[in-house]
Structure 1
Amino acid sequence: MYGTGERAVVALDGLTADFANGTFTAVMGPSGSGKSTLLHCAAGLERPDGGQVLIDGTDLGPLSERRLTVLRRERVGFVFQAANLIASLTAEQNVALPLRLSRRRPAPADITAALSEVGLAGRAGHLPAELSGGERQRVALARALVTRPAVVFADEPTGALDSAASRQVLALLRGLVDRHGHTVVMVTHDPLAAGHADRVLFLADGALVDELAGPLSAEGVAGRMARLEVAR
């Protein structure tokens, strides 16, 4: 809940969801439906007023802020609409940053492997300003993967990209699940993006109102969203 009294807003209302290992889930809904709040609570970026959040079997509720920060660094990967790279650091230095923040010495082979996974091994020494928008987002994805997280949370990861760059990023997210068994949870407004997932959760007014399981198509996702909008 945000705010107090008459201005209080219930962002999530009795919502229960689980994300199985090795699956790709898209979360959709109209603006204000609670998509980003769900993602932030599930990732430990915000604490819910009630209920329970578990990541890889660990209950986040009793954790101190310090322990929660450590868990996020070691077990959670993040990719946001803005790549959020450090402008003064090269691609490889940006990828190594989560390890350095955890006071771990980055192994050059691990950094190279993460950049190779997203097709950017040859751009390791480039600054963000020297990369395209799609390349910057792929560096952000490599940064999310370098700690070998239990789950990757992506909030509108293709929202600022053109169609070609979007397809590359979505194919990489899909590959994380299919080739490496990662768990991916992605908030998106785009039926084309959601079509890459194994299932779609539809939110409205902070509640889970519908679910669509694969195989998915952009048309099927768009049709379900349209019906929800009409019902509202």
Structure 2
Amino acid sequence: MTTTAVRLTALRRTYRDVTALDGVDLGFRAGSFTAVMGPSGSGKSTLLQCAAGLDRPTGGRVEIDGTDLGALSERRLTLLRRDRIGFVFQAFNLLPSLTAAQNVALPLRLAGRRPARAEVRAALARVGLADRARHRPGEMSGGQQQRVAIARALITRPAVLFGDEPTGALDTTTSRDVLRMLRELVDRDGQTIIMVTHDPVAASFADRVVFLVDGRVAGELTAPTAEAVAGRMAGLESPERAAC
């Protein structure tokens, strides 16, 4: 039986007189990899932040593993984000004075847990960096730093890993290496991943691409190719559509 890791129902988010999300209904299957795309200002990052509990929606409902985030107090929401949600940003956000292992262990230490060395090494091994545990960020490439950031997000074994342009700061070759690793996390470990990207090639690593325009779902592709994604994006960004 297929389970839904994340469910968005009639999701709305407004900022003063600007509507960033306008009644979004989406489900994300557990163990799947979804890319979210759309023109600039379409609501991609807002959707990700609301779905991950980083921002409170104006209306509608967000459920993660069947838990309604809107029904949680700030304290309980913070605990859920800490234990059940992983988030990776375009910037690596590693502490430069800490080793890779210490950066990965940080979420557990902030939660008052003393992480086992084997637990941290296992998280680094999942992203192919078992031999870099003692290196600091300045001693690693950009791709390796992003892998450490992903290991840090995975250390709590989250239900969902969210990525906001996680390969946006990387060169093409390194970006593809990180995307292949994300694909492997889904295929090998059953990790659920939801990723915002502007790159059709990055989106082609996903099982499904959801397109947003003006805060609304504007269609989707399954088993996407880079060419099909690029063609759909060109249609969404065409002058004729922009003039509508």
- Verify same fold: TM over 0.5: yes
Q: 2 CA distance for matches of 1:57 and 1:98?
A: 24
Q: 1 CA distance for matches of 2:111 and 2:66?
A: 21
Aligned counterpart in structure 2 of residue 146 of structure 1, from 155, 159, 162: 155
What is residue 144 of structure 2 aligned with on the other side?
Answer: 135
How far residue 96 of structure 1 moved from its aligned partner, in angstroms, is 0.4
Q: 2 CA distance for matches of 1:176 and 1:56?
A: 19
**Pair 1:109 & 2:129 matched:** no
Q: 1 CA distance for matches of 2:49 and 2:15?
A: 17
Q: How does 1:65-84 map to 2 (within 5 A)?
A: 65-84=74-93
Q: Which has the higher strand share?
A: 2
Q: 2 CA distance for matches of 1:60 and 1:117?
A: 29
With 41-50 and 57-66 compared, the bigger mean Cα shift is at 57-66
Paired residue type of 1:219: E
Aligned counterpart in structure 1 of residue 231 of structure 2, from 223, 226, 229: 223
How far residue 2 of structure 1 moved from its aligned partner, in angstroms, is 4.2
Q: 2 CA distance for matches of 1:64 and 1:90?
A: 34
Paired residue type of 1:69: T
* Structure 2, unaligned runs of 5 or more: 1-12
**Pair 1:45 & 2:54 matched:** yes
| TM-score normalised per structure 2 | 0.91
SS in 2 for 1:14: strand
Q: Cα RMSD over matched residues?
A: 0.9
Aligned counterpart in structure 1 of residue 108 of structure 2, from 99, 103, 115: 99
Q: 2 CA distance for matches of 1:2 and 1:18?
A: 21
Total equivalences in the alignment:
228
How far residue 3 of structure 1 moved from its aligned partner, in angstroms, is 3.8
What is residue 167 of structure 1 aligned with on the other side?
Answer: 176
Percent identical across equivalent pairs? Answer: 68
What is residue 32 of structure 2 aligned with on the other side?
Answer: 23
**Pair 1:197 & 2:206 matched:** yes
How far residue 105 of structure 1 moved from its aligned partner, in angstroms, is 1.6
Aligned counterpart in structure 2 of residue 118 of structure 1, from 119, 127, 136: 127
What is residue 85 of structure 1 aligned with on the other side?
Answer: 94
* Structure 1, unaligned runs of 5 or more: none
Q: 1 CA distance for matches of 2:84 and 2:228?
A: 33
Paired residue type of 1:121: A
Instruction: Verify the 8 A CA contact 2:39 2:236 in the aligned structure 1.
Output: no
Q: 1 CA distance for matches of 2:81 and 2:15?
A: 26
Paired residue type of 1:167: R
Instruction: Verify the 8 A CA contact 2:165 2:198 in the aligned structure 1.
Output: yes
Aligned counterpart in structure 2 of residue 213 of structure 1, from 219, 222, 227: 222
Q: 2 CA distance for matches of 1:3 and 1:220?
A: 33
SS in 1 for 2:60: coil
Instruction: Flag the 1:184–1:3 CA change in 2: closer, same or farther, 3 A.
Output: closer
